[in-house]
Amino acid sequence: MDQTFWQLLALAPPGWGGVLLTGLAHSLEIAVGGYLLGLILGVGGAVGKLYGNEIVRDLMETYTIVVRAVPELVLILLLYYAGTDALNRLMAALGRSPVDISGLAAGIFVIGVVQGAYATEVIRGAIKAIPAGEIEAGRAYGMPGGLLLRRVTLPAMLPHALPGLANLWLIATKDTALLAVVGFSELTLVTRQAAGATKHYMLFFLAAGALYLALTLVSNIAIARIEKWARRGMPQVHA
Amino acid sequence: MSAPSPLRGWLRPHRLVMLALALGIVLWAVLAGDWAWLPKYTPLLLKGLGTTLAILAESVILGAAVALPIGLVQVTGPRWLSAPAQLFCTVIRGTPLLLQLWLLYYGIGSLFPMIPGIRGSFLWPYLREAWPYGLAALTISFAAYEGEVMRGAFAGVPRGELQAGRAFGMSPLKLFWRIWLPRALYRALPTLNGEMVLQLKSTPLVATITVVDLYGVISRVRSATLLTYEPLLLLALIYLILTALMVAIFRFFENRLPTRGA
């Protein structure tokens, strides 16, 4: 029995181990890409919410409320179809031939938009936690907005934002599984295919679970290190 | 509260423009979209909504019931109880819900028929259906996330209050019922709203194992009518309303509870 299990999980083609690892790689690509896009959207959203005019603030508020209230699965379907459709209509309007959007790009876009809404709230809270004097000092030195953001606001908010951002990373890795529903061959979908083909459902789902869990645990170790680095020089806090 | 008229403060000129724009978009979606399917599917949609709400309520109640002991043993239990509870929380929170759901439905579900005699047992009618697996997966997930919250809540009850109870000669059980549990629930309550919204947003996953919830009905509409946007937009709107209702209900109860900070 054990023999066949290892044969099924073997990396070479008769076994499905290689397929699972490729799926994990796809999941990781989307998670990393979506997370980075989400961070960019989050910084933009937070700055817009805190320093924008009334219209910008209300638009950001609408974005975060809608994205956080609608299930990720529904958003993924909507953005996946609407996103590709809108892009192709734009291309048609510009007189170009329709482009075939890769599942990877669409997946990164979708996860990024979802992550961006949560990241906006995390970063907004973190920026508000910075002592006002630090930002005022920067302004008093005549720093322009962009430089102030890069040199003062973002580094100073990092320790406050890290727990929330770390959580978001873990959510991003798990949200990639939802792309299985739109047929993107990430880890969960290839697992189901492998399980369906071999009828060894338990084996493959448990194997995929172990991969996801390993990703989470490795991430936790990395997060602990990053947090320690970001909090250097700050007083110790006991939770 | 402090503003003389909250509505006047809220309805500023730019908001009126944005409202008009939003209404225009809704109107455009209603007029330009194809909604002929809606009357035919309304009964099914209502049934799907019922299924979604039922699964949400059941999984939250069952999950919270499991979460209490899981949180408690991690704070006060012996090692042989706290270690498995911690492992449970880590494993469930570290893997995607969709994977857990499929593991239960396809994996465990495929093992059951191999057990001799199970087809004759009273359990078989349930094991053959999809929703028990969906409910089980959602319950386990809620128990793990809420268990983590309860752990923090139990640990966060000030020592002095427990010591005071002990000084009054309360038995450990009475101390638990009278002081520790109520105080912990009190601390966990504000997070419950967020957890329930997250749980609501997880319920559509059960449609992937053929449970016909709200999302399942919409998928059926989409494959029957070949429409892409209209059903999905309606679905998003329904979830938005459900979330808003949930937040409003919780806010109502939170305002009635006399809380002082957290």
By C-alpha distance, which of A52, A175, A176, A36 is closest to A119?
A: A36
What is the count of structural domains for chain A?
1
Task: Find the mean pLDDT for residues A27-41.
Answer: 94
Measured CA to CA, the distance from residue B176 to residue B240 in angstroms comes to 39
- How many pairs of residues across A and B have Cβ atoms under 8 Å apart? 115
Q: What is the pLDDT of residue B1?
A: 44
How many Cα atoms sit within 13 Å of A63 on the Cβ side?
24
In this prediction, residue A137 carries a pLDDT of: 93
Please report, for residues A39, A64, A119, the alpha-carbon distance to residue A45 in angstroms, rounded to integers and kept in the order given.
Answer: 10, 9, 8
**pLDDT confidence of residue B68:** 92
Distance (Å, whole) CA B8 – CA B10: 5
- Specify the pLDDT at position A1: 47
Give the pLDDT of residue B35.
Answer: 82
Q: What is the mean pLDDT of residues B178-194?
A: 86
Instruction: Measure the CA–CA gap between B60 and A170, rounded to whole angstroms.
Output: 23
User: Is residue A219, in this structure, part of any structural domain at all?
Assistant: no
Q: Which member of B94, B215, B239 has the closest CB to residue A213?
A: B94
B42-62+78-144+188-256 belongs to CATH 1.10.3720.10: yes
Domains of chain B: which residue ranges?
Answer: 42-62+78-144+188-256
Q: Is the confidence at residue B4, as pLDDT, over 60?
A: no
pLDDT of residue B20: 86
CATH code (residue A46): 1.10.3720.10
* Residues B258, B183 contacting (CB under 8 angstroms): no
Answer yes or no: is A119 within a domain: yes
On chain A, the residues whose CB falls within 8 A of the CB of B226 are: none
Question: Per-residue pLDDT for A239 more than 80?
Answer: no
Between A68, A85, A212, which is nearest B95 by CB? A212
Given a cut of 90, is residue B34 above it in pLDDT? no
C-alpha A11/C-alpha A15 separation (Å) is: 6
Asked if B201 lies within 8 A of A70 by C-beta distance, the reply is yes
In a domain, A121, yes or no: yes
What would the pLDDT profile of A54-66 be if each residue is shown by its tens digit?
A: 888 888 988 998 8
pLDDT at residue B171 above 70?
Answer: yes
Instruction: Tell me: pLDDT of A233 over 90.
Output: no
Chain A residue whose CA is closest to B232? A78
What's the N-to-C CA distance of chain B in angstroms? 21
Residue A203 covered by a domain: no
pLDDT confidence band for B8 (50 / 70 / 90): low
Q: Model ipTM?
A: 0.83
Say if CB A22 and CB A190 are below 8 A apart: yes
Q: How confident is the model at residue A40 (pLDDT cuts 50, 70, 90)?
A: very high
Mean pLDDT of chain B: 86
pLDDT level of residue B225 (50, 70, 90 thresholds): confident
The residue range of the domain holding A101 is 28-187
Report the alpha-carbon distance of residue A156 to residue B39 in Å, rounded: 55
- Return the amino acid letter for B245: L
Q: Is the pLDDT of residue A236 over 70?
A: no
The pLDDT tens digits of the residues spanning B72-128 come to 999 887 888 899 999 999 999 999 999 999 999 988 887 777 777 777 777 777 777
At residue A227, does pLDDT exceed 70? yes
The percent of residues in chain B predicted with pLDDT above 90, rounded, is 40
In a domain, A59, yes or no: yes
Interfacial A residues in 42-101 facing B (CB < 8 Å): 54-55, 58-59, 66, 68-75, 77-78, 81-82, 85
Q: Cα–Cα distance between A58 and A78 in angstroms, integer? A: 22
Q: What percent of chain B has pLDDT over 70?
A: 93
pLDDT for residue B14: 78
Q: Residue A197: inside a domain, yes or no?
A: no
Compare all CA atoms of chain B with the CA of A59 and give the residue at the minimum distance.
B18
- Record: contact A82-B244, CB cut-off 8 A: no
Percent of chain A residues topping a pLDDT of 90: 31
**Residue range A78-92: average pLDDT?**
81
Tell me what the mean pLDDT of segment A162-179 comes to: 90
Q: How far is A71 from chain B (nearest CA, A)?
A: 4
Q: How confident is the model at residue A36 (pLDDT cuts 50, 70, 90)?
A: very high
User: Between chains, do A69 and B244 touch, taking CB under 8 Å as contact?
Assistant: yes
